[in-house]
Structures are given as structure tokens and as C-alpha cells.
Amino acid sequence: MRPEYRIDESGIADAACWLPSPNWDERPVGTDIELLVIHSISLPPGCFGGSAVGELFTNCLDPEAHPYYRDIAGLRVSAHFFVRRDGAVIQFVSCAKRAWHAGSSLWRGRERCNDFSVGIELEGCDELPFEEAQYGAVAGLTRALRARYPIADVVGHSDIAPGRKTDPGPFFDWQRYRELSGLS
């Protein structure tokens, strides 16, 4: 049975594990949260499980633990949420704050999507399907976020940073996600 999420007044999901990231700042004053961005990540690429994503988002990634980490260990990035393959959800940044997940981005003529979006990272890659538990968790988060904020659209990272990003990739089943989230 998957948990039902509720986002409290401070932007924290009550059923998520809280692991605070230092990689956030304040949203611009008066900015509504209007966009939900779906990402995917695996560290090292194509490998699942372990603590590397959390270590990256909390600036604790050991550059000597894997050759790939040498290039990314200095990045200062985060997301609001990370959904593991088994559907477990970790929250790194309050939704009330600006997580550093989208980078250079554009949505409906508006730049700096981090200003007005929430980012959800799914543990995955472009080469493999996502797990049913992940669809349940991200759908539950989506329903909770839409209940709390005036979210107008849900997009992939590739939609707001085309040519630069490919995630969540060709194996993300948008139709299944939209049905489970009540977006269809």
C-alpha cells in the first residue's frame, strides 16, 4: 500500500524521509509554484540503490568512490524529492524554497524554472523502464502538490531544457503517470 502524501504549510511532505540539502535558496517574493518538473538520475549512471544521489544533493559525494564522481562531486545541485526504485521518497528541500534542479531552463516563455517549480527526481535512466512503485509514489506526490500549490503543468526536464537534458527519458510512461495522478 502506498502512502498518501500531504504537503504542510512549510512545504514538507509528511510521508517522505527528510534529508536536508544545503543547495537551495529563497524563491523570488510573490512567485507561485506553477510547474512540476520530472527528472531521472542514477549514480553511477545506470546503477540503482546506494546513497550516492543523497550524497550528491547534500554535498557529501566522495570523488574517489567512482571515476564518474570526479566530474560531478563539486556540483551544487538538489531536487525537492527523490523517488527510489521501490517507491520510497526522500525530500531534500522544502517546496517553499527554490531547489537547484532545472538549471538553464525555459517554460512558456519564462526562464529560470527553478523560481516557480518543484523538482522530482526518479531513480532511473534513459535505458530502462521505471518501476510501478515509482509511478505510485510520484502520482501521490503530484496529487499532494496540486492540492497545495497552483500547479499549471507537469513537464520533463527535457521539455524545459531541450538539447541539454533528456530526462526522464523515453521509458517514462507519461500516460500511466497522468492516469495515476488524475491529470488525464
94: CB partners within 8 A, 6+ apart:
10, 11, 12, 24, 80
Q: Supply the angle between the helices 132-148 and 174-181 in degrees, to the nearest 10.
A: 50
Q: 88-114, pLDDT tens digit by residue?
A: 999 999 999 999 999 999 999 999 999
Known catalytic residue at 121: yes
Catalytic residue among 9, 55, 121, 132: 121
Does this model's pTM top 0.75? My answer is yes
| Domain spanning 17-181, CATH class | alpha beta
Q: 124-179, pLDDT tens digit by residue?
A: 999 999 999 999 999 999 999 999 999 999 999 999 999 999 999 999 999 999 99
- Looking at residue 3, its pLDDT comes to 74
C-alpha cell at 10: 512549510
CB count within 10 Å of CB 166 equals 15
- Looking at residue 70, its pLDDT comes to 96
For residue 10, pLDDT beyond 70:
yes
